Structure 1
């Protein structure tokens, strides 16, 4: 086996973790894949003889790539994460270890929505440290701060997430009514009705397979989301997805698309569109009659 083959094999052993880091940073499977691919290109051009811990080196590289991509969004005048950041009031960090573990393990759409309210370096510090146990000594050079300052960034991000993380609607029947109303309005092209069902800051995410089928990689804001869905979803059916009301498109007896909804205080704050067959196979889907 050649040296390049060995390097490629070591990279593949770390791919899933790198993709997880990138997805939590970027909130897009397509962009996460781009970041991981860029990491491989950088690795293939680098002399790694002096690299003692390849996994840590790759995590650092992916972190830097994601940080550059987040900053690039702002330079292209897309919705800037910095512009949406609100500095939290400094309070004592009362999080116990169990709560920290639960927070770090929560990687659903609700958390991604809140992560996007952080500025890029806060997001990077939180994701790398709280979710992937990267030390602040390693994070510091990536964000251009001291280890102590990097620790403060992660702590500030943690407080913000704890304060702003939306609590999903607990009443399943109410969730179902809202999702059902959304599907009816979408089929009928009722733009104004869709607006009443969507939170002003609603976020839609779609995986790569869904994008190839016509979805967009990411849509934000009630007007943009209402405009995208108005007149669509003619064949979407109400379903329970992992126990929560959602929608699916079934063709030839197989689920082709699944849409999960996050409903808070009577409005939809997030939609997650999945079309990748492997991911669909991991979902517990039950069609709802009527």
Structure 2
């Protein structure tokens, strides 16, 4: 059998679950190995380092953080009491801008980047099908959401433990919990933050199906993020704000209450699910009808 015949045979053969897993693994490895992705992860890892060093320098003479006026991200005034709070502070500092921008870059490039590089046609020659390929791309972006969030959390945990004391910590409600329980809540918060980005990931993937330029898709996705963030801060548009995907992002702080306040957390996760369903469906409708000419 010639090579051409082998390719044609592969194209009509139904892909196995193992083949699908192999393609997903290949996508994950390719995404993580890109210099752009490594640079994004490096910036995210550097944020907790900068925050931790800044707090250490500011409080070296025993003074309060932010001059005692509560300035800065949530939990920042608690870092000097317990380094674990640097995890919560770093996530609060990166979630509004840095994390979603990184996700927007990866999601925006998912389809458009392949089309612009001329590799999308070759991916579709393999027995994947457009729907399966789109799902693999979205799964890769969601995996990046988790990876990026964990990079911030692990970096913050390491820096916090190095520069500040650790041990029992006080929740927002004033109750004391053990360091082990604090670590558990930090992990849960990281998972919630990662889940808070799935709507943004679906939006970026949809934009990526609209163009063959990876740069244009990334710029458009980040631009939409900035626009929505601005709208979410305008008081005159408060009736619209509860329906915007970043509106409940910082609700993860409620996981540090005793008992936990679940209302805004549930609203956030539900809203992300709606955005994922709407823009995921739009991406599927666009991609399955897209003319792949390059």
**If each structure's strand is expressed as a fraction of its own residues, which one has the higher value?**
1
TM-score (norm 1): 0.28
TM-score (norm 2): 0.27
**If each structure's helix is expressed as a fraction of its own residues, which one has the higher value?**
2
Pair member with larger Rg: 2
